Structure 1
């Protein structure tokens, strides 16, 4: 299971790098998650594994979709125009910190002491990775903007995780809630793409 998680989450950053290009960001995210949602919902329906959700649960799925399968990827795709996807993935590891903070904030989940030791080692490590870029004057504002967008998207992902915890505590199946969350997240990106109208294409990631 651990290897599967590494492969799935590792390959998602490749998908981001490959999609950043001639198609506008919200359109790319829209296609990605709408197709994934329809495939998952079709499979769940075919095998009779789709769980019935109440209207309130669908509302939380909408929030989850915007946080995990929508606006956060909007941030990641935009940042990928200035940062290589590998560095975005490293920044995304901050989700562990955000999850711990949000878990305590929303559910009063205690934070183990070893977490603080890991944090004390992890944050300086990430600073060292970006040090060369941070001291490069001509790239400072673009770099900081991309880092800020990545961290914003990561925090949004963490908020979506808190919604997922809420689903699980209510006994909802993760496959069903994720399918609807992807559907709503993709639809949200579709609305954003439609309201923007003809927008200029994203600059191809120069790190590819």
Structure 2
């Protein structure tokens, strides 16, 4: 698949997964629900590797890095994100998610010695402005208190973990490790970590019995994890973690379109302005800008 197709696939799937996630809440602990999601995803990827006779053998140092991806991107990121949602509204999470792009830019420069691309920073800033326009009505409901401050702190740590996982993934993939095998091992390591955490948490481990929980789990595992993360990792491999992360600014728009039908989201003139600004930012981030803006801020 080409990059626009992969990008669109990520946005469409992740823009719809919020519905499935609502059916996961309240049936068991967040860590156990996420562990089951990665268990199913890892099984699907493992079966695919066996059928296609894809090699499983990888060097030890790659396994260490994949375990780190499992810890930061697939375990800590999602667990903390679920925790943050208990304290702050989704509009604030969507706004804060834009920080992933900026953190990716800094980490790529510091860790991978990659140049800071001016178009990505400018595009992300446009995208951030567009997200503000989209969610202005929701922000009026927010009042600063201790719970909100806690939620914002947890969300920031979550997005920082996601960025660390993004950059490690880019390093693994650009060294030649195949996307499918990397996701298989990273999700397997995440699943093990999350199952152990679930067992160590205080309280009784509850096995969900609801049909809606398992139907949503199937969607999240197959589409949200296997397909969407497969497409995202391919993007990350081909474009870099800074550009690929622009997905986090586009998929909230898909969620709002779905919300229009399921939750009665009311579109305003400012909402359409926000969509236009986000799309403009996307075009800039992907290099659809004058040549003079494509020179990096910093080079090797």
Q: Name 1:52's counterpart in structure 2.
A: 57
Give the total of aligned pairs. Answer: 199
Alignment of 1:171-186 (within 5 A): 171-186=176-191
TM-score normalised to structure 2 length: 0.59
Q: Against the structure 1 CA distance between its residues 82 and 5, is the aligned structure 2 distance closer, same or farther, given a 3 Å change threshold? A: same
Structure scoring higher RCO (CA < 8 A, sep ≥ 6) equals: 1
Residue 62 of structure 1, CA deviation: 0.7
Residues 91, 139 of structure 2: 8 Å contact kept: no
Distance 2:52 2:67 in 1: 24
> CA RMSD for the aligned pairs?
2.5
Q: Name 1:79's counterpart in structure 2.
A: 84
Q: Name 1:204's counterpart in structure 2.
A: none
Q: Against the structure 1 CA distance between its residues 16 and 51, is the aligned structure 2 distance closer, same or farther, given a 3 Å change threshold? A: same
Q: Name 1:33's counterpart in structure 2.
A: 38
Residue 94 of structure 1, CA deviation: 2.1
Distance 1:7 1:119 in 2: 19
Alignment of 1:1-208 (within 5 A): 1=5, 2-85=7-90, 87-123=92-128, 129=136, 131-134=139-142, 136-137=143-144, 140-198=145-203
Residue 167 of structure 1, CA deviation: 1.1
Residue 16 of structure 1, CA deviation: 3.0
Distance 1:199 1:89 in 2: 33
Structure 1 spans left out of the alignment, 5+ residues = 202-207
Distance 1:159 1:175 in 2: 20
1:92-145 Cα offsets, whole Å, 9 max, x none, are: 2321111111111101211122344345445566667474345x25xx222222
SS at match of 1:20: coil
Distance 1:150 1:15 in 2: 20
**Greater C-alpha Rg:** 2
